[in-house]
Structure 1
């Protein structure tokens, strides 16, 4: 590439690293016989009635440009869904934008709010997209370490960081149930966070894409207790096994949504019209689909957690989503990437190293149990054999990947 052109790129972009989740998944996919427990991809097909709705939209020639904020039928379905499931009130005419998946919803919000030297606070470990978007915009991304508290942020620690960075804090990001840890927050905890944040002039980006998969207790949306400061992000991708349809949405106060709409319009204008009709069907008539998937995920979670503990691993409380965050044995002296590579090459199990979710490294790895029970059983058996071999061969400190 012409270096003169390269030098014209946004300097912030040059320092941002690509997603380690994607690159590590690609790296390990080349290993023969690998069992992939890497990506957050539901192990279900989109329910038939939703697919039929998308097909019907195509047959009915609903294939032309849709309004920038999405078809009204879908915005209305989102509004009704949020009211029915989480007791939220959003006007479909003025407080909802349909986006190209949750990723674009997050991107739209962060690009709209963040400027150079703004501070973004985010509990860590966290999905890497938040850090990258903050840094592209020249903002300072500050991780709040939660490992010592079983990966949970506390109101006291949040207050400490808000006071430390004071009026430089522009945004606080909450993602729960959390990717990668699977932890989530109770209604009382959400109330306490809201009480803290109400005292500061900050926007809360609440990423709740795994809201339907909360196993400990019913999910409470942050928007219920601080709607005037909250940008809510959600999608149909995980809850209805519709990752490839790319339908997400963001909700917020009318004037904020009006301005976020400008960013959304400039980025993509609108998403696929037929996809929106499929999502409308999902939100209106897919509650039973969610219940079935949630029941299956919970059974699989229980099986996976029990087996991991039997092997000897320490894990974070897997209260939601479809991930288990696993601590690397203390006798292993390498990085999380080293350990994950050993698992891939010696046990033929692909996981995501903890380095994908923090700025430096974290001696953990993420397992996605959104996989078949056959693959999970084989993967866990392989992990058990791998662990036993390391112990019996006295290779506790080996970094060899041969």
Structure 2
């Protein structure tokens, strides 16, 4: 079996080696502050008794699982604390595929590249369904692609890379399709706090044994390095997921869980709204500059990515490297996300230098 190293790493390394100043718009790493209560909890943790530096329960600290469960309207036994959303998605896809219900994984195009990568690792077969020009997914196209071999349907809302937010009727229809084909809908909702449209709907709104919801605090609390995520499983699927988590990772960081728990309890909605407002302002500034460059672009309904298409400049790796060398801006090639956006380049608006990057792009393509 051959594994491909994600292009993210190649582009980031290329940008680091550049002979000029480069604005990094490659990775989705928030540049804003984490909640102050989280910093306080980290300081507090350093002075706890030594037993608090040992293994936590494998499925996660009970109090954190209970806090998540109360907020999401599920039982704490359904919640598994994971090493970020990355492991949560791995566990969800693995659990869906090991039911011996087929090996096909339905993915969107464009797609976050880690989902196809996980499909390969788990021995599944990829089947892609194209979204429309706004990144919206038509449930009828998913139903047409589904078959008796369909084990998993993976969606991400708000979406990376398109910024689309799937409305309630789309999510409800996807749950229905999963039930109809005895498949599992895996709904990755890691950007839920960055819904700019008011249209976000969680798959948890629909009671079903055929959906798993994954999430993490990496983006919402600007702590991608803490690796605290979670998956919410139906009762029928959770025990084997806990076993796989224990065998692969043993447990998730105890101090990270402690800090997240305190931040959940003590951080008000103003923190999250301030970050959304910052993002709205960056989207406006960045897209204004793309207008000046006569570029076509997506305006995100959520998450923090903009995809842009420049006339005569397809989104290949070679062109992204040229953009680094000649304009001093690093984005991700559209070809990294599938076949449907190969003319596009994705930019992450998680840098205080987003305006500088916009000015450079406008000047370069003028």
By the TM > 0.5 criterion, same fold?
yes
In structure 1, C-alpha distance between the alignment counterparts of 2:116 and 2:359, rounded to whole Å:
35
1:38 equivalent among 26, 31, 34 = 26
Write out per-residue CA displacement over residues 132-167 of structure 1, whole angstroms, 9 at most, x where no aligned residue: 111122211112122x443221011111101xxx11
2:297 match: secondary structure: coil
Asked whether 1:386 is paired with 2:347, we answer no
5+ residue gaps, structure 2, are none
In structure 2, C-alpha distance between the alignment counterparts of 1:291 and 1:382, rounded to whole Å:
29
Report the counterpart of residue 183 of structure 1 in structure 2: 164
Asked whether 1:196 is paired with 2:169, we answer no
Structure of larger gyration radius? 1
What TM-score, normalized to structure 2? Answer: 0.94
Asked whether 1:275 is paired with 2:262, we answer no
1:131 equivalent among 109, 116, 131 = 116
- CA shift at 1:357, angstroms? 1.2
Report the counterpart of residue 347 of structure 2 in structure 1: 367
Report the counterpart of residue 60 of structure 1 in structure 2: 48
5+ residue gaps, structure 1, are 1-11, 83-88, 389-402
Write out per-residue CA displacement over residues 22-72 of structure 1, whole angstroms, 9 at most, x where no aligned residue: 221111221121111111000112222111112212311321211011111
Report the counterpart of residue 141 of structure 1 in structure 2: 126
Write out per-residue CA displacement over residues 209-244 of structure 1, whole angstroms, 9 at most, x where no aligned residue: 001101111421012124321111001110011111
Say which is worse superposed, 119-128 or 58-67, in terms of deviation: 58-67
Sort the Cα spacing of 1:359 and 1:114 in 2 relative to 1 into closer, same or farther, 3 A. farther
2:80 equivalent among 72, 97, 113 = 97
**Count of aligned positions:** 360
In structure 2, C-alpha distance between the alignment counterparts of 1:238 and 1:246, rounded to whole Å:
10
Write out the 4+ residue segments of structure 1 that deviate beyond 6 Å after TM superposition.
none
Q: Quick check: 1:42–1:241 contact (8 Å CA) kept in 2?
A: yes
1:254 match: secondary structure: coil
1:317 equivalent among 287, 299, 315 = 299
1:42 match: secondary structure: coil
What TM-score, normalized to structure 1? Answer: 0.85
Sort the Cα spacing of 1:385 and 1:30 in 2 relative to 1 into closer, same or farther, 3 A. same
Say which is worse superposed, 317-326 or 48-57, in terms of deviation: 48-57
- CA shift at 1:95, angstroms? 0.4
Write out per-residue CA displacement over residues 235-256 of structure 1, whole angstroms, 9 at most, x where no aligned residue: 1110011111110000011221
In structure 1, C-alpha distance between the alignment counterparts of 2:105 and 2:199, rounded to whole Å:
28
Q: Quick check: 2:82–2:228 contact (8 Å CA) kept in 1?
A: yes
